Amino acid sequence: MEKSENKKVIQFKIITIFPDFFKPMLEYGIFSRAYKKGLIGFETIDLRDFATDNYKSVDDEPYGGGSGMVFKPIPLGKAIKKAKSKKETKVVYLTPSGRVFNSDIAKELAKEEELVFICGRYEGIDQRIVDLYVDYEISIGDYVISGGELAAMVVVDAVARQVKGVVKEMDSVVKDSFYDGLLDYPHYTRPETYNGLKVPEVLLSGDHKRIELWREKMKLVETLTKRPDLLERAKLNDLQRKLLKEIKQQLRRLT
């Protein structure tokens, strides 16, 4: 990994029992390129290295009975202490019980210099670890997956995109869906006509002001029709509020 000069480097440290899960992140795509340029640091920490018995066991049956296993606090606590190079380092626990991850959280986490992620499995981790060490409990949605590794990949990738230099054109990040609380506008490329469907005329006009206005309007249309809940917390500017009012009036006339 090259050393990045005069650019912020964010360190990602992943506590997991499956460190090999993350190898592809360092081999392909934007994340890999950013890692090799030294814009981001990445390290996996094998929880089993902190086991206290010869069997390398890191989980045990839950007190009070019940199905499944729970990660034990002693190995996990040791792993967290090893991972944190600074007292102020934030610890993120991937769990279905956490706040649902979104762009605002990604931007918030991207301000940190170092993040430690705990990838839960089975029935989760001992609650005392949460009480003592965890700063963020994050979920990637209202569904259950086999472990926190996949969730960690999603969160780490989204956070890394917010770091300057990771995405070549920062303008692409700013215009991504959710960056300003809205969905993205529709995109088109060649050919102009496909299966009888044509590219909107405005995109072929060369009039950049018209194109930007169309894109702004379509972001609102997409959000209103697909994710109206986002509009409740989106911070719209004067133009967006005006366009949204026009869109709603047009939709009412069609119904």
- Structural domains of the chain, count: 2
123 located within any domain: yes
Are both 114 and 32 inside the same structural domain?
yes
Give the residue among 106, 112, 147 at the shortest CA–CA distance from 16.
147
What mean pLDDT comes out for the span 123-145? 96
The CA distance from 248 to 224, in Å, is 9
Are both 231 and 152 inside the same structural domain?
no
What mean pLDDT comes out for the span 144-164? 96
176 located within any domain: no
Helix or strand holding residue 151 (H, E): helix 148-161
Q: Is 141 annotated as a binding residue?
A: yes
Are both 139 and 33 inside the same structural domain?
yes
Q: Is 100 annotated as a binding residue?
A: no
Are both 201 and 157 inside the same structural domain?
no
Note the residue count of the chain: 255
Clarify whether 123 is annotated catalytic.
yes
Are both 238 and 140 inside the same structural domain?
no
Pick from 162, 178, 203: which residue ends a domain? 162
Are both 82 and 142 inside the same structural domain?
yes
pTM for this structure?
0.87
What mean pLDDT comes out for the span 171-191? 77
CATH of the domain at 103: 3.40.1280.10
Are both 112 and 229 inside the same structural domain?
no
Clarify whether 99 is annotated catalytic.
no
Is a pLDDT exceeding 90 seen at residue 180? no
187 located within any domain: no
Name the 3-class secondary structure at 91: strand
The dihedrals phi and psi of 28, each to the nearest 5 degrees, come to -135, 150
186 located within any domain: no
The dihedrals phi and psi of 11, each to the nearest 5 degrees, come to -100, 125
Pick from 139, 162, 185: which residue ends a domain? 162
Residue 103 in tokens: 């762009």
Are both 127 and 36 inside the same structural domain?
yes
List pLDDT tens digits, range 75-106. Answer: 999 999 999 999 999 999 999 999 999 999 99
What mean pLDDT comes out for the span 218-231? 95
Q: Is 188 annotated as a binding residue?
A: no
Are both 137 and 201 inside the same structural domain?
no
Q: Is 126 annotated as a binding residue?
A: no
129 located within any domain: yes
Are both 87 and 202 inside the same structural domain?
no
Q: Which one from 46, 108, 113, 123 is the annotated catalytic residue?
A: 123
54 located within any domain: yes
Are both 147 and 245 inside the same structural domain?
no
Clarify whether 190 is annotated catalytic.
no
Are both 123 and 47 inside the same structural domain?
yes
CATH of the domain at 233: 1.10.1270.20
Q: Is 40 annotated as a binding residue?
A: no
200 located within any domain: yes
The CA distance from 44 to 22, in Å, is 8
242 pLDDT band (50/70/90 cuts)? very high
44 located within any domain: yes
pLDDT at residue 121 in the model? 92
Q: Which one from 176, 180, 216, 222 is the annotated catalytic residue?
A: 176
Clarify whether 73 is annotated catalytic.
no
What domain range includes position 45? 11-162
pLDDT at residue 175 in the model? 53
Is 16:93 a contact under the CB 8 Å cutoff?
no
List pLDDT tens digits, range 194-216. Answer: 999 999 999 999 999 999 999 99
What mean pLDDT comes out for the span 221-225? 96
Q: Which one from 96, 113, 137, 215 is the annotated catalytic residue?
A: 96
Give the E-state strand segments of the chain in sequence order.
10-16, 40-46, 59-60, 70-71, 90-100, 114-119, 136-139, 193-194, 197-198
